[in-house]
Amino acid sequence: GNKLEDELFRVKQILLAAEISCKISGTLELRNTPLLVENVLSMCLKEAVTNVVKHSGATSCSISIKQSTKETLLKVHDNGTGIDTKKDWSKGHGLRGIKERLDFVNGSLDIHEKNGTTLNIRVPIVIQ
């Protein structure tokens, strides 16, 4: 297995232990993705799911991974209380940590509050 697949397996266990149902979809084997980028994505996934368990009160969480020619998109959605994107951002270190790690690989994070919380984590695909 690879790093992201291992992390997907772990977060699935964590969600199930918290009685949050979990749906995983998309590509598990990433193309054109350096190990550094895969490690960053794994860390982002871990923090995103930790937040779902700690803060959302959700009953379900879905995780999807999609690759286009341009980017890899990791989406983590929960059906919980939703995040206050203006206020909550500066409460802890987790979201800032995600942002900083993504900056490092020219990636980006955007957060949506609709029917719960959605994190879109994007990293460009660079073919060398």
Q: Does 91 bind ligand ATP (CB under 6 A)?
A: yes
**Of 20, 22, 44, 52, the one binding ligand ATP by CB under 6 A:** 52
Distance, in Å, from the CA atom of 26 to the CA atom of 5, rounded to the nearest integer, reads 12
**Of 43, 94, 120, 122, the one binding ligand ATP by CB under 6 A:** 94
Q: Which of 42, 96, 115 is nearest to 74 (CA)?
A: 42
**Pairing between strand 117-124 and 60-67?**
unpaired
Judged by CB under 6 A, the stretch of 4-12, 21-29, 78-86, 99-107 that binds ligand ATP is 78-86
Distance, in Å, from the CA atom of 107 to the CA atom of 122, rounded to the nearest integer, reads 5
* C-beta of 33 vs 51, nearer to Mg ion: 51
Buried b (16+ CB within 10 A) or exposed e, 27-54: eeebeebeeebbebbbbbbbbbbebbbe
* C-beta of 65 vs 77, nearer to ligand ATP: 77
Judged by CB under 6 A, the stretch of 13-21, 27-35, 74-82, 120-128 that binds ligand ATP is 74-82
Q: Does 81 bind ligand ATP (CB under 6 A)?
A: yes
